[in-house]
Amino acid sequence: MNITRPRTRSRAAGLAAALALAIGGTAAVAVGTATHAAARPAAQAAAGHEAALVAKARTSLLRYLSKDHAMNIPTPGGGPRGVTPSTVNASIGAKGTGTIGSYNWSGYADSSSTAGTFTAVSAKWVQPSTTCSSEQRLTAFWVGLDGYSNDTVEQDGTLAYCFEGQPYYFTWWEMFPGASETVGSTVKVGDKIAASVTRSGDSYTLALTDNSEPANSFSTVQTCPTSTCTDESAEWIAERPAFPIGITPLSTFSDWSPYSAVETSNGTRGTITNGPGATQIVMYDATSTYPLDSVSALTNAGANFTTHYLNSY
């Protein structure tokens, strides 16, 4: 992942340099120079190997996501693939916030039955760590417009992908049902992320800033007719993508805690709580028996919450 590591000399090289210094100063410089010269090819080879692994993981990820362009299941609280609200303990939601279940979404959504209600959504977070087994697993963290009650989503965020036993982190955006676009492949655990989607008419600006690794940042302008992208919802979601053959196992992640989560609806900017139809979404297993993660109540005037991993499937 192109991570620069400090060079270190072996104990033997250090002793040789010390001995040379004791014998006659200038020889120590020669020993040190030779040591660094010998280390450079090895370091370059290691960096090249790491870059090749990242490229391989990225190719696999893109192939994976292209199977169904499925970064979401629309209407997470209903329909043939949804979980009925009765399976969820509604008491865990914030006061005035409804609660539903989903097979692949968790987090919060604001929603309206009026087209064009929402024009912006955003949040910040610190990239969580992911622990991998040999099984391929995938978790996406994102903000977006649409998707809660219709078949389009304009979204961007970060991805944690378990590939060949190792975690890889990417930034990405998508105009669902179009294909996902991965942008940055040097995201690291602890990176400070700020993501947003803003609409003006049929034009959407999808932007993400990785304050720790600027190369992962992006801003792209895409279009979608207002008759297709109706902007009836805003979301802050942790997701395990779904495909025709099933839903990917949720990767084992440390807590995802988006903060400063705001939306603009009917021309007014506000937090999740202030938006219309605020709803908490909890991810459930295929039998609707137990949650795959827990979603906290809203805090900080409705702008913050935490999702906590429990199970993969």
Bridge-based pairing state of the strands 192-200 and 203-210: antiparallel
Nearest to 296 by CA among 99, 83, 144: 99
How high is the pLDDT of residue 286? 82
Instruction: Give the max Cα distance, the chain.
Output: 84
* 210 CB neighbour count, 10 Å cutoff: 24
* 45 CB neighbour count, 10 Å cutoff: 10
Q: Are 168 and 61 in contact (CB under 8 A)?
A: yes
Which element (helix H / strand E) includes 144? strand 137-145
Per-residue pLDDT of the chain (313 residues; tens, 9 = 90+): 222 222 222 323 332 333 232 323 333 333 344 444 555 565 566 666 677 777 777 777 766 666 554 434 434 433 323 444 333 333 334 445 678 888 889 999 999 999 999 999 999 999 999 999 998 899 999 999 999 888 899 999 999 999 989 999 999 999 988 878 889 999 999 999 999 999 999 999 999 999 999 999 999 999 999 999 999 999 999 999 877 677 889 999 999 999 999 999 999 999 999 999 999 999 988 888 889 999 999 999 999 999 999 999 8
CA distances from 305 to 27, 170, 207, 308 (A): 60, 22, 22, 10
Euclidean distance between CA atoms 107 and 240, whole angstroms: 12
How high is the pLDDT of residue 229? 96
Place of tokens 């279940």: 101
**Local structure of 28: helix, strand or coil:** helix
CA distances from 171 to 150, 160, 183, 205 (A): 24, 9, 5, 15
Euclidean distance between CA atoms 226 and 272, whole angstroms: 23
What residues contact residue 203 under an 8 Å CB cut-off, 6+ apart?
Answer: 221, 222, 223
Euclidean distance between CA atoms 85 and 31, whole angstroms: 71
Q: Which two tokens stand for residue 87?
A: 């399976």
Q: Which two tokens stand for residue 109?
A: 């959504």
How high is the pLDDT of residue 95? 43
How high is the pLDDT of residue 51? 76
* 6 CB neighbour count, 10 Å cutoff: 4
Q: Answer yes or no: pTM beyond 0.75.
A: yes
